[in-house]
Chain A
């Protein structure tokens, strides 16, 4: 009887170890901790991670796939983020300047209160589309590390240029921003 108990105990322990090992292998093989931003930085060709989210600027939802054929500037922001206030006018001006060429600025409001976000949009006169991601479901897939962050997507739906961490700023990263727009529009060599 004692031998049977020991064998059952050993079997349970072995199953437990095998389950933990399986989880570890699965995590290593399929876990995606890096996000699209790191793949882009490594020089890989990366499709913009998909999402479908509720819109804040109007009723309904918007999927990133709906913008296929357009150049897109994707900006992750939140109303409580101070640098986001600094760049909001720059993004609105960019939208007004390039929309005739088929460029869309898309705001993704993350970890925020909807009403705070709408107040922010009114305050800065934002007219470009904004979607709401209160749960932060896009953050991991895109590899967002902080707010604000800006990405560029070309007309085929692939990420191009360099991701901008922090506010878009005339002195600090204006050339990176303008090159991203040119690549997204297909105007860059």
Chain B
């Protein structure tokens, strides 16, 4: 019975630690690297524009109020549009921004593989001697015979 109680206590503690990790306050520096200043188009951590300074201030205020990273980003997108996110969202039309480079990379890899495969197929063919012109062969034999004499 004591062992069971100890196991339950450990399970409860583990769950509380897990829940606490999920509610950890966002790091302002991380958010500033993931959000873009709408006037200068650089990330907030790289910008000292007045609107960027105000956004940094709002981010810190919202973190102090207990807002999550997702909430803060959603609020800024509501004010300034999706262009405020340094990385486009992985949903809807914006998914194209992720899929196109991946598609190009995959296409490039297939292309390189096809070229390499083509070269590897060509190499044995290069070893097969081309048929010699009979007239040329006869003249060569004559020359060699003359050399032997």
A contact set with B: CB distance below 8 Å: 1-2, 5-6, 8-9, 12, 78, 80-82, 111-114, 116, 134-137
Q: Is the CB of A134 within 8 A of B118?
A: no
Instruction: List 27 A-B pairs, Cβ < 8 Å.
Output: A2-B121, A2-B122, A5-B115, A5-B117, A6-B118, A8-B114, A9-B115, A12-B107, A12-B111, A78-B51, A80-B51, A80-B53, A80-B54, A81-B50, A82-B50, A111-B80, A112-B51, A112-B79, A113-B79, A134-B38, A134-B79, A134-B80, A135-B38, A136-B38, A136-B80, A136-B81, A137-B81
**Chain A residues within an 8 Å CB radius of B38:** 111, 134-136
Q: Which B residues are in CB contact (< 8 Å) with A78? A: 50-51
Q: What's the count of A-B pairs with C-beta under 8 Å?
A: 48
Q: Which residues on the A side are within 8 Å of B33 (C-beta)? A: none
Residue of B nearest to A4 (CB): B118
Label chain B's interface by main secondary structure.
Answer: helix
User: A80 and B114 in contact (CB under 8 A), knowing A114-B79, A135-B80, A136-B38?
Assistant: no
Complex CA distance for A9 and B58, rounded to whole angstroms: 52
Q: Which of A1, A2, A12, A78 has the most CB of B within 10 A?
A: A2
Tell me if B111 and A9 are in contact (CB < 8 A).
Answer: yes
Chain A residue numbers with a CB within 8 Å of B58 are 113
Would A135 and B54 count as touching, CB distance under 8 A? no
Q: How far is the CB of B76 from the nearest CB of chain A, in Å?
A: 9
B46 at interface, CB cutoff 8 A = no
How close is A171's CB to chain B, nearest CB, in angstroms? 24
